[in-house]
Amino acid sequence: MNVIKIYLKLFATFAKIGAMTFGGGYAMLPILQREIVEKQKWASEEELMDYFAIGQCTPGIIAVNTATFIGQKTKGVLGGISATLGLVFPSLIIISMLAGVIEAFSHIAWVQHAFGGIRVCVCVLIINAVIKLLKKAIIDKFTFVIFVAVAVAAYFTSLSPVIFVIVAAVIGIIIKNIGGKKA
């Protein structure tokens, strides 16, 4: 029975995250951090950042990929499936209900203004999550230089995030192996 409880807990936790996440994968960062790192302790902040980075450069939706990684880490393949199904379940239900109605009301001014407000709120949530993650990611001059280089390159180019992740990983390996093996 305990085995089933953990699968249900994974499903329920990720369903809660899925129901509370508006604006895509990045908007779920603060909710993931609170639920997965602080409350459930299924992953550390560093692991969460790693899962997000890997989720960014693997096919599929970043939020779904991250849920799958955390569920798999917690309880294997079935844990990954439970977490993933939990995350997408609320969206499936809500989108199914809204799909037929949204077109009929999208032209109304207050609906458009509500969506404008939601977009701004999501931006603030993303900025908050990024600031929290930065505190853990930038730990020395080396990581600061990588951060600045990737931020500038991302702003001025249209390179895939996969390229940034791979190049940053290779540079990290090279610098840490050549320059002094600080971990």
Tokens for 60? Answer: 């599929």
pTM confidence score: 0.64
DSSP structure class, residue 33: I
In the prediction, which pLDDT does 125 show?
79
The C-alpha atoms of residue 145 and residue 168 are separated, in whole angstroms, by: 10
For 24, the 3-state DSSP assignment is: coil
The C-alpha atoms of residue 17 and residue 36 are separated, in whole angstroms, by: 10
For 60, the 3-state DSSP assignment is: coil
For tokens 């390159």, the residue is: 153
Tell me the mean pLDDT in the region 28-37. 86
**Is residue 154's pLDDT more than 90?**
yes
The C-alpha atoms of residue 124 and residue 102 are separated, in whole angstroms, by: 25
Tokens for 153? Answer: 């390159």
DSSP structure class, residue 26: G
In the prediction, which pLDDT does 42 show?
93
Radius of gyration of the chain (CA): 19
**Is residue 182's pLDDT more than 60?**
no
Tokens for 123? Answer: 């931006």
Q: Which CB contacts under 8 angstroms, 24+ apart, belong to 96-104?
A: none
- Contacts of residue 121, Cβ cutoff 8 Å, sequence gap at least 6: 22
Tokens for 44? Answer: 């550390």
Residue with the larger pLDDT of the pair 51 and 86: 86
Tokens for 57? Answer: 């450069």
For tokens 């993933």, the residue is: 84
**pLDDT digits over 87-143, tens only?**
999 989 988 888 777 778 878 888 889 888 988 988 887 888 788 778 888 888 888
pLDDT level of residue 180 (50, 70, 90 thresholds): low
In the prediction, which pLDDT does 33 show?
86
pLDDT level of residue 23 (50, 70, 90 thresholds): low
**Is residue 13's pLDDT more than 80?**
yes
In the prediction, which pLDDT does 123 show?
86
